[in-house]
Structure 1
Amino acid sequence: MRFYGGRLRTVLYSRLVFGRWDINVDPDARVNGTEYMEIGRHFRAGRGLWLEAIDQYGEGGTAQRFTPRLVIGDNVSLSEYVHIGCVHHIEIGNDVLMGSKIYITDHNHGVYRGAHPDSPDVPPTQRPLTEGESIIIEDNVWIGEFCTILPGVTIGYGSIIGSHTTVTHDIPPKSIAVGSPAKVIKQWDEEKGAWVAAGHR
């Protein structure tokens, strides 16, 4: 009975938040900014989901305002405690699978490169959010547990991101990447029908 009660709560919560019956999200999720989200068919997410499309940061005349766009394709499945934060544009393709405890963000608290970085004397919560960078995760991507996907990257079709990986740059299609920062270690060889070491195709 407990199983069926939990299942009913999940269905009703998903209907209440997203207005749909084909979405399956645990009731303890934190979902903000659904008006900026486009979610495909059969979206599933485990406990602890934090899905946010942020249209304002700060208060009063100094508040930053954004028009985020968070797109999730069909048949996307997220495990537990996935956090996706969007102020500009994050797009997740069809048939994407994610493990647990993954963080995906298209912004940072403050700028730390270039001619005008933010000072460490300013509290992090008072530093402006960066904006203008996108994240694209193409179809058939698998992202392992404890991964971080940072602003301005594309993960190509069919790629695999190993657990505990930090993605700071583009990953080509049909690649396996691991490490922090991510490094491509294997790529799919169409002729051989096998994964081969990067640079040995």
Structure 2
Amino acid sequence: MLNIFKNIHVRICEQGIFCTFLFYVLHMMDIMYGYGIFQRRIAIKWTSRISGTKYMKIGHNFSAGEYLWLSAIDIHYSHGVLKRFAPQIIIGNNVSVEDFVHIGCVNHIEIGDNVLMGSKIYITDHNHGIYNGEIQSNPLTPPAGRSLDEHKEVVIGSNTWIGEFVTILPGVHIGEGCIIGTHSVVSHDILPYSIAVGAPARVIKQFDFKNKKWVRV
């Protein structure tokens, strides 16, 4: 309790009474928002945009920065036809994401334990439209009205670090212990214990457990 009052005193001295009051009001809003959305204490901001919580399983010690967008989509209209999905978003323990992270799911997105994400990251398991196979989307159809590609999943292994501005596309599996460099576009699987960079992302190093070093490939 003494530490709490000490922190308040320091903040008042540094930022003034009004800014200190505003800080704690916003902090309480974050706590109330987390309880309201997930019915338990979870470290998200009131600026977050969360939908489809009944399809989400979030582990312990999850934290997110401003403007998290977490969306489990269970319904979509296409050409006047209503289509339903059964999405699953599974997030492990000790996952931390920074500002403006967007995760959109119609099928399955799974994030392992101890994953660290930077800001402005986009992860999706679907596309607006189908562009492979026998029945494909017509480019004359507005993108928002095209059928969603629903048969892919995204899996991110534990102990992975994802840099800022990364995009992870449908069907990708990222192995355990990987590093994905900033501005990368991950369109193919990444083997465990790899460093991948670029658009499309390619593996440039893998960890050599015998010599305990990252080795170029």
TM-score (norm 2): 0.88
Instruction: Give the secondary structure class of the aligned counterpart of 1:186.
Output: strand
The share of aligned pairs that are identical, in percent, is: 53
RMSD: 1.3
Q: Distance in 1 between matches of 2:152 and 2:135?
A: 18
Tell me which residue corresponds to 1:39.
Answer: 58
Higher CA-based Rg:
2
Corresponding residue of 2:38:
18
Structure 1 stretch displaced more, 2-11 or 61-70:
2-11
Give the number of equivalent residue pairs.
Answer: 197
Aligned to 2:181: 162
One of 24, 38, 58 as aligned partner of 1:4: 24
Structure 1 residue 110 and structure 2 residue 129: aligned?
yes
Q: Runs of at least 4 residues of structure 1 off by over 4 A?
A: none
**SS of 1:4 mapped into structure 2:** helix
* 1:195 to 2:214 alignment: yes
Q: Deviations over 1:140-182 (max 9, x none)?
A: 0100000100011110000000000000111000000000111
C-alpha deviation, 1:115, in angstroms: 3.3
- 1:65 is aligned to 2:84: yes
1:48 to 55, 62, 67: 67
1:105 Cα deviation from its structure 2 partner: 0.3
TM-score (normalised: structure 1): 0.95
Which deviates more, 55-64 or 128-137? 55-64
Q: Which runs of 5+ in 2 are unaligned?
A: 1-19
Higher helix share: 2
* Distance in 1, Cα, partners of 2:124 & 2:199: 16
